[in-house]
Amino acid sequence: MSAVERAYAKVNLCLHAGERRADNYHALASLVTFAEFGDELRADESASLELSIAGQFAAATPKGHDNLVLKAANELRAATGVKRGARLTLTKNLPVASGLGGGSADAAAALRLLNSLWRTGLDDNALAQLGRSLGADVPACVHSRSALIEGIGEKIAPLALPRLALLLVNPGVELSTAAVFAKLDDRRGAELPPLPEFADASTLVIYLRDTGNDLEAPAKSLAPVIAECLSALSREPGCLLARMSGSGATCFGIFEAEEAAVATRQKIAAAHPGWWTESTRTR
């Protein structure tokens, strides 16, 4: 018996940060959505628990028990008493340390996949609670649905957001989240403007223009190529908004049509062959 689960890319449409807390985390407020594109995790029945990694970004992905997929599998076994194993294959399609929640999405996919394969019977809320020990982004990634995220990721309020045509662009830079937060000086505070009902992509973009990503400035100071990436997106016809996701360095453009996103991807890929690009839609 085998099964496959997608680890959906997480995109921070906006991210406002508060002051550092006593536990060294920063309180955040973020509108989060998830792309249809992501990593892929396959599980086959096995007596032992093992992980192999393939795909474009396999070489940069942590191996063995440092990988969050195996950590998630062991957390699920410990919580449920399951003794079964699985032969896991992770196909890494997302850049590592790129602001797309790749490792957290992989862990969340492992929880969903093995919960089904091992028939442990936990619902998504229970899996999200279990995932908190693995990382602040894991609970939201378990649900993989648009949401308002607050606190350090533990407060998740599902939102109905319009589907968006996206172009994801990473300029070939890995950024440490801790290093970006260490350079954070200017903060909007951990709150967003009051949320309206979003009738379509245009109303969402209008709202987003009154927000930002507080981590963009410190990320640019560490990797100035991010500014070039944002410029390459924003000057293209059909791009409604260009912004960095999470702690970077991946940037995204919201486009008025999928065709415009695809055309821009081709143009940027030709001009910057070392950059990673992917046109997709939100879920």
Query: Average pLDDT of 111-119?
Result: 97
CB contact at 8 A, 114 and 86: yes
* pLDDT greater than 90 at residue 23: no
Q: What is the 3-state secondary structure (H, E, C) of 166-195?
A: EEEEECCCCCCHHHHHHCCCCCCCCCCCCC
Q: For the whole prediction, is pTM greater than 0.85?
A: yes
What is the homologous superfamily of the domain 165-281 according to CATH? Answer: GHMP kinase, C-terminal domain (3.30.70.890)
pLDDT of residue 24: 84
Task: Kindly report, residue by residue over 244-257, the tens digit of the pLDDT.
Answer: 999 999 999 999 99
Write out the two tokens for 237. 């016809």
Instruction: Supply the CATH classification number for the domain 2-158.
Output: 3.30.230.10
Query: What's the pLDDT band for 45 if we cut at 50, 70, 90?
Result: very high
The active-site residue, picked from 39, 106, 137, 214, is: 137
For this structure, is 23 an active site residue? no
* pLDDT greater than 90 at residue 22: no
Q: What is the 3-state secondary structure (H, E, C) of 27-76?
A: EEEEEEEEEEEEEEEEEEEECCEEEEEECCCCCCCCCHHHCHHHHHHHHH
Query: Average pLDDT of 141-161?
Result: 96
Write out the two tokens for 69. 């997929």
Task: Kindly report, residue by residue over 50-87, the tens digit of the pLDDT.
Answer: 999 999 999 999 999 899 999 999 999 999 999 999 99
pLDDT of residue 35: 98
Q: How far apart are CA 115 and CA 104, in angstroms?
A: 16
Q: How far apart are CA 9 and CA 106, in angstroms?
A: 9
For this structure, is 186 an active site residue? no
Where do the domains of the chain lie? 2-158, 165-281
Q: How far apart are CA 95 and CA 266, in angstroms?
A: 19
Q: What angle is formed at CA 162 by the lines to CA 146 and CA 153, rounded to 5 degrees? A: 15
Write out the two tokens for 76. 């699920």
The active-site residue, picked from 10, 71, 92, 220, is: 10
Query: What's the pLDDT band for 1 if we cut at 50, 70, 90?
Result: confident
Query: What's the pLDDT band for 25 if we cut at 50, 70, 90?
Result: confident
Classify each residue of 176-208 as buried b or exposed e, where b means 16 or more C-beta atoms within 10 Å of its C-beta: ebeebbeebeebbebebeeeeebeebeebbebb
Torsion-angle region of 189 (φ positive above 0: left; ψ -120 to 50: alpha; else: beta): left
Query: What's the pLDDT band for 283 if we cut at 50, 70, 90?
Result: very high
Taking each helix axis as running N to C, give the angle between helix 124-131 and helix 102-117, from 0 to 180 degrees, rounded to the nearest 10: 130
Strands 147-151 and 155-158: antiparallel
Write out the two tokens for 195. 């949320």
Classify each residue of 261-271 as buried b or exposed e, where b means 16 or more C-beta atoms within 10 Å of its C-beta: bebbbeebeee
Mean confidence (pLDDT) of the chain:
97
The two most distant CA atoms of the chain are separated, in Å, by 55
Q: How far apart are CA 143 and CA 262, in angstroms?
A: 27
